Structure 1
């Protein structure tokens, strides 16, 4: 195996005490395109990881709604963070290495690290690495981590689950890693919310609004989505990303972390009790949310399940950086979907009340190939 010369990138607005990004800095390269052009290319066969969407810059009202949601649900987010952090620490203790999946996993990984430091006085290593659907995880980043922490026990972290594509990608990537390098990794993904029933390591299975899903880079350390484009990424490089320094004035990444972490003292006892109860529960990852997806695919005559994004977090992403066709809401009066309704109105997207599903909402992506015929 070749010597890994990659080092953590000096990028993003988070402190290096909170996270180290194992990414190649592509900040000087123009990778963005309009949402419609990019969607057309993706639906015509180009992989989504080869380019970036233009970062949506929300109006003042939407930022105010983000802060309203963050303040309203800060205790719930903190509690779910505490529950999953307690389970991680119980399973892996001081040997745990937090490896969050960039970028939605990054703020969650920081919160878990902060909670364990607050609760147990242990500062666990925390890295953010890239995993890409259909292309796997960044193996160079994993080799870097394993070389730095030969006695460590990796714990992968993400924000939430939708229909489970990343959970399945992670399992497949870990199997391939073991086959190639004879190193077994724990493929169980830790998340705050698991509405898709895709993991056994979660804070809750309720489909609720995790406020960090409301924004893009400005709540994720000003780091873009990750990029895997052969033009810029060599075989020995980490996967890439951009650092949006120009958005510094809009950045709320650290303010959000401090807001949630400020609740840890209030929720730690209950979080520990719930985590202890989980030890004796029979919890399975059944990917039961896929039944909803398949039902909706048939009813709305959608060509691919890739065009269906279930859950509050995924539906938000559809509105922020894809070409949305419809939004399905189980309960339009739920406080968790206020930002969805605001975005849908701003973008002129039809909202359909659809009570017969387990998820709170779903985002359906428009087939732009058919539109452009």
Structure 2
């Protein structure tokens, strides 16, 4: 199979030493739709990956919340990244390629790569590739990695788990890929936070605010979410994405990973203790989060599970990119959800307390037929 040349891929604003995006550059294509137009299209059956939302540009007040969140959580994020990095090395060894799932996984993959370089002076290759719910993983990206790193193991990385849709998609996609191409890639997914109890390789199972979830492209190398639309992408090409050069002055991608990376010397002595704690208290994935979602579906009479987006990261996305109907807040976590509450107020979205869930919060997308 002929693979698209690497020169035609999105470059992003990260250094190529941090990550290489295996995504076709669609920067010149106009495919953004307004939030309302996109929501209607999705709920009428158009796949979300065929178009992009208009990039949210945060207010100064919201940015201040991001900076505050980063200041308060930078050591927590660094520790979780170090814990995941150690588990990856223990499980996979040094002959491993880091494969971040675009785009939320990308800054986390950068941090893990940097931690391994900092601690062990081992420079693992790191790519950002696309996986799309109901469409699978980018097989051409996997072919490219296999061709350029023969014999190496692959380790897939994402930011967090919600209800486990991407975890399930990865399992399904790799099972099919391995059968078709006679490979033996593991579908295990490493995440910084696993509040959905969907992963066995995680930094924490607490549903805390990962600062990179607060923003979109300006925290992810100025790269859009991935696109799979046959209008612009041929079968032998990578999935696509846009590079938002016009947002260059507002880009915080490198500032974010630099700030977290500077915490590595501080958290280095803490990593071993946290690893021991995780191993002692380890339980295999129970999909506890999915049980929470089913309770929410029943209580709020929601037919489509895809309209329920649990966890801090997914709730943030709902408020930034979709049309929210309600935001559920776990009272025990309210003090950590200032950015969620601010966005909900800005968008005039109802906030309700709901404690019977594994998450700090949950966003519910407005069904087209449901009255607000």
For the aligned pair, the TM-score class normalised by the smaller chain equals over 0.9
Equivalent residue, structure 1, for 2:16? 16
Q: TM-score, normalised by structure 2?
A: 0.97
* 1:240 pairs with 2:261: no
CA distance in 2, matches of 1:344, 1:289: 23
CA distance in 1, matches of 2:43, 2:350: 21
Deviates more, 1:198-207 or 1:283-292: 283-292
Equivalent residue, structure 2, for 1:213? 213
Deviations along 1:261-302, one digit per CA (max 9) or x if unpaired, are 010011112213322454565430111111110111011111
* 3-state secondary structure, aligned to 1:177: helix
Equivalent residue, structure 2, for 1:272? 272
1:274–1:244 Cα change, 3 Å: same
Deviation at 1:336, TM superposition (A): 2.2
CA distance in 2, matches of 1:227, 1:219: 18
CA distance in 1, matches of 2:217, 2:10: 16
Equivalent residue, structure 2, for 1:176? 176
Equivalent residue, structure 2, for 1:6? 5
CA distance in 2, matches of 1:275, 1:73: 19
CA distance in 2, matches of 1:137, 1:38: 23
* 3-state secondary structure, aligned to 1:159: strand
Equivalent residue, structure 2, for 1:40? 40
Q: Answer whether contact 1:43 1:369 (CA < 8 A) is retained.
A: no
Deviations along 1:289-340, one digit per CA (max 9) or x if unpaired, are 1111011101111111100000011100000000000000012763321000
CA distance in 2, matches of 1:370, 1:289: 25
Q: Answer whether contact 1:40 1:369 (CA < 8 A) is retained.
A: no
* 1:91 pairs with 2:91: yes
Equivalent residue, structure 2, for 1:297? 297
Equivalent residue, structure 2, for 1:134? 134
Deviation at 1:196, TM superposition (A): 0.2
Deviations along 1:65-123, one digit per CA (max 9) or x if unpaired, are 10000010000000011101110011122111100000000000000000000000001
Tell me the C-alpha RMSD between the 2 structures: 1.4
Q: Answer whether contact 1:199 1:284 (CA < 8 A) is retained.
A: yes
CA distance in 1, matches of 2:32, 2:10: 21
Deviation at 1:370, TM superposition (A): 5.3
* 3-state secondary structure, aligned to 2:358: coil
* 3-state secondary structure, aligned to 2:163: coil
Q: Answer whether contact 2:10 2:23 (CA < 8 A) is retained.
A: no
* 3-state secondary structure, aligned to 2:213: helix
- Structure 2 stretches lacking a partner, 5+ long: none
* 1:258 pairs with 2:227: no
CA distance in 2, matches of 1:197, 1:69: 24
* 1:359 pairs with 2:367: no
Q: How does 1:22-171 map to 2 (within 5 A)?
A: 22-171=22-171
Q: Answer whether contact 1:161 1:198 (CA < 8 A) is retained.
A: yes
Count, aligned residues:
371
Equivalent residue, structure 2, for 1:319? 319
Q: Answer whether contact 2:104 2:213 (CA < 8 A) is retained.
A: yes
1:133–1:10 Cα change, 3 Å: closer
CA distance in 2, matches of 1:109, 1:248: 21
CA distance in 1, matches of 2:213, 2:126: 20
* 3-state secondary structure, aligned to 2:195: coil
Q: Answer whether contact 2:10 2:22 (CA < 8 A) is retained.
A: no
Q: Answer whether contact 1:159 1:193 (CA < 8 A) is retained.
A: yes
* 1:287 pairs with 2:293: no
CA distance in 1, matches of 2:147, 2:162: 32
* 3-state secondary structure, aligned to 1:94: coil
Q: Answer whether contact 1:39 1:322 (CA < 8 A) is retained.
A: yes
Q: Answer whether contact 2:10 2:241 (CA < 8 A) is retained.
A: no
- Structure 1 stretches lacking a partner, 5+ long: none
1:119–1:194 Cα change, 3 Å: same
Q: TM-score, normalised by structure 1?
A: 0.97
Q: Answer whether contact 2:109 2:126 (CA < 8 A) is retained.
A: yes
Deviation at 1:344, TM superposition (A): 0.3
CA distance in 2, matches of 1:148, 1:333: 45
Deviations along 1:236-276, one digit per CA (max 9) or x if unpaired, are 00000000000001110000001100100111122133224
